[in-house]
Amino acid sequence: MPTPRTIPALAFLFLSALLPAQTPPTAYTIVEAVPTAPAGSNMTIYRSGNKVLMDMFYAAEPGGAAARHALTFYDLATGTTHTWDPAITPASCSAGRFSGDWGDPFASTAEITGDIAKGMLKPAGAETLNGIPTKVYAGVTDGANVKAWVDEKDGLVIRAGFAAPGSPLQNMVDISKVSFNAPAPSVLAMPSYCASVNPPPTPAELIAAETSDDAANWVSAGIGPGSKNTCSILLHVVAAKTMLPINRKYQVAIDTTYVMENPPHYTFGVGEDGTSTFSGGGLHEITDQVRNGMLRVDNPPPYFTFTVNVPTPHEGAAGGFIYRQCFAPVTMLYYILKDPTDPGKGTDFLYAKSGKYAKAP
């Protein structure tokens, strides 16, 4: 299903620091052309509070792709989306998540406002576009000629064009209709077949499901930067949900000499029983340091590579790029297997920063 967010970043050059300063509206209907798309393509944004419907229509390309239509409902309170094409049969709907800029015409970027405030774009008259009185600003920013038509009453850029020196102006914003009446609730209603389509779980929800614990107690080991302070790391290999030791022998290899700017090439050998061999760079096996099912690594560098292999026929070793995180002098690092009998079904490296799992035995 086509995504509704295919407009280049410059297509949303609107004001966030408004002229004059004011609170951007949260109820409106705005219609604008889709830059670089076939003539007749348009985008309509309907918003009422935390509910938004973005209706994207792409006209047919002469001798090319057929017309396309996609609608996306944004729930700003939950950060979730549902997208569908009313012309597709059988009916289908996809769900997703978002954060940050979703395309609000009043908050997408402060470039135009900043350039006007800096004097880079100077007053260049006044024009009425599609019945909307605007003030015109023009100038050069970052080597490009810029011209913007601003509805200063509401702080909205109605039109904005850009061009390289000597080239004709190309409109990247071209609004044809603005209404500040809240759209009817029926306009913002998703079709019934979207109701049962759930967005993917959040990272926090995934951690909570893996650990059967509060996600706030955990940090992904793959998220940097590494802690500035040093500590020892105690690796514990456990089953998801129960967090119990897997009671199987496992292998561990580590490379504390890994350099991001010059990554080495690793080679993994796999035996019939799933036992692995490790080579390349500074990667070396430290399985013989496992004690009582756990492995202690003293004073690791801010980042390193870590490979854990639970020997399983026809399965290879699983490794990861690990950042050092120190929440205690001995910080617990868990290698979690979704299915201890089949590591191929998924694994994860998580640090316990608080809670009962953060306590070293």
State whether 161 and 215 are in the same domain: no
State whether 211 and 167 are in the same domain: no
State whether 164 and 23 are in the same domain: yes
Q: What percent of the chain has pLDDT over 70?
A: 93
Final residue of a domain: which of 194, 229, 247?
A: 194
Q: How confident is the model at residue 275 (pLDDT cuts 50, 70, 90)?
A: very high
Range of the domain at 91: 9-194
> Has residue 246 got a pLDDT over 50?
yes
State whether 179 and 265 are in the same domain: no
CATH number at residue 36: 2.50.20
The answer to whether position 17 is within a domain reads yes
The answer to whether position 2 is within a domain reads no
The answer to whether position 4 is within a domain reads no
Model confidence pLDDT, tens digit, residues 99-117: 888 988 887 555 777 788 8
* Nearest alpha carbon to residue 18 among 103, 100, 107: 107
E strand spans, 207-324: 218-220, 232-239, 251-255, 267-270, 276-279, 284-285, 294-298, 303-309, 318-323
The answer to whether position 311 is within a domain reads yes
Q: Which two tokens stand for residue 78?
A: 């939950």
The answer to whether position 37 is within a domain reads yes
pTM above 0.85, yes or no: no
* Contact (CB, 8 A) for 150 and 156: yes
Q: Provide the sign of the torsion angle of the four alpha carbons 13, 18, 19, 22, taken in this order.
A: positive
State whether 47 and 168 are in the same domain: yes
Q: How many domains does the chain have?
A: 2
Q: How confident is the model at residue 61 (pLDDT cuts 50, 70, 90)?
A: confident
Read off the DSSP letter of residue 347. Answer: E
pLDDT the model gives residue 116: 84
State whether 219 and 242 are in the same domain: yes
CATH number at residue 249: 2.60.40
Model confidence pLDDT, tens digit, residues 156-173: 899 999 999 889 999 888
Using DSSP, how many helices (H) and how many strands (E) does the chain show?
2, 22
* Contact (CB, 8 A) for 160 and 173: yes
* Contact (CB, 8 A) for 323 and 285: no
State whether 212 and 173 are in the same domain: no
State whether 160 and 225 are in the same domain: no
State whether 176 and 216 are in the same domain: no
The answer to whether position 3 is within a domain reads no
One-letter amino acid at 298 equals D
State whether 257 and 348 are in the same domain: yes
Tokens 């908050």 correspond to what residue?
107
Query: Across 9-13, 150-154, 261-265, which has the greatest mean pLDDT?
Result: 261-265
State whether 180 and 100 are in the same domain: yes
